[in-house]
Amino acid sequence: MKVAIYRIHYGLDFLEQSINSIIDDVDHVFVFHSSRPWSKRTEVTYLGETFPLPQLEEDVKQFIQDKFSSKVIYINRQFDTSHNQWHTLYNLVRTTFGKPTQCLMMDPDMVFAPGDAAKLFNYACEFVNLTQIELWKGMDYRVPQRDRIGPSLWNIPPPPTGKGTEVDGNIQKHPHIQCYNFGFCNSPKIMFYKHLVAIMGSADIGDSIPSERWFIDKWTNWEPHTQDLEISANHMNAIKQIEQYDAPLDIKEYMKL
């Protein structure tokens, strides 16, 4: 049984394109939805004001029922940490639906170019991790290439994972295939919510603390000459400047952005 596992808390902007980019290459897609952030906190302090985290008006279950066949299975599951989440989700699938022969771990803003998922599933390996092309506010700009792992394909049962789809300290990159990451292309509403969640809970899960002004100064008011765009307050120069990008025709046509 070939499966894809998604985890999602916020943002349906690219979930349909993401699932459709892999659905023909798997037997089942399992979407694990956490209606609460991966944090025990309920309030956020932003630019000197403390207030309850706003609620997202997203019906993930209904979205999946409306957009997909029964091949895509919605599961509500709450977590208060991202650590070892993927290993836990894999075990939930295995114990409830049977042991997968191959398991692709995905986030809802990750999209494959046409044909790449099929090639990935035919790649001979125990596991393989993919780097990403991180697009910026559309298809015409991107973050300079960096070793940020996106999806991982497991042909063996995965050991405990870190905060991402990979095992900390054990990375095996695919030599050719990358995925497209649309995490910086979400709607302003989702980007602001995502920013608030990061401010509220990053310390709880061991992530770097975000710059509170990132959403306004670096994303909302971004211009091509804007510099120091990494969200982390202590590492903003890790993304020095956004690059122009000439996206291949196949992904342009697929996304229709």
The pLDDT tens digits for 227-257 are 999 999 999 999 999 999 999 999 999 998 6
pLDDT of residue 202: 85
The whole-chain average pLDDT of the chain stands at 94
What residue numbers bound the domain in which 140 lies? 2-255
What is the distance between the alpha carbons of residues 112 and 21, in angstroms, rounded to a whole number? 5
pLDDT value at 31 more than 80 = yes
Q: Residue 28 belongs to a domain with what CATH number?
A: 3.90.550
**How much is the average pLDDT of 191-198?**
95
Instruction: Pick the more confident residue, 154 or 171.
Output: 154
| Of the listed ranges 3-17, 151-165, 215-229, the one predicted with least confidence | 151-165
- Total domain count for the chain? 1
> Nearest CA to 196 among 4, 10, 60, 57?
10
Give the integer Cα–Cα distance in Å for 10 and 174: 28
Place of tokens 């995925």: 179
Q: What would the mean pLDDT of 202-208 be, rounded to a whole number?
A: 78
pLDDT at 205 over 80: no
Does residue 203 register a pLDDT over 80? no
Q: What is the C-alpha to C-alpha distance for residues 217 and 229, in angstroms, rounded to an integer?
A: 9
Q: Determine the pLDDT at residue 257.
A: 62
9's CB contacts (< 8 A; 6+ apart) are: 33, 34, 35, 36, 37, 38, 197
Residue 39 has a pLDDT of 81
pLDDT in the model for residue 207:
78
Cβ-count burial of 110 within 10 angstroms (0-12 exposed, 13-18 middle, 19+ buried)?
buried
Q: What is the pLDDT of residue 82?
A: 80
Q: pLDDT-derived band of residue 128, with 50, 70 and 90 as boundaries?
A: very high
Residue 144 has pLDDT above 80, yes or no: yes
pLDDT band at 81 (very low <50, low <70, confident <90, very high): confident
pLDDT tens figures, 162-191: 878 888 778 899 999 999 999 999 999 999
pLDDT in tens, 43-74: 999 999 999 999 888 999 999 999 999 999 99
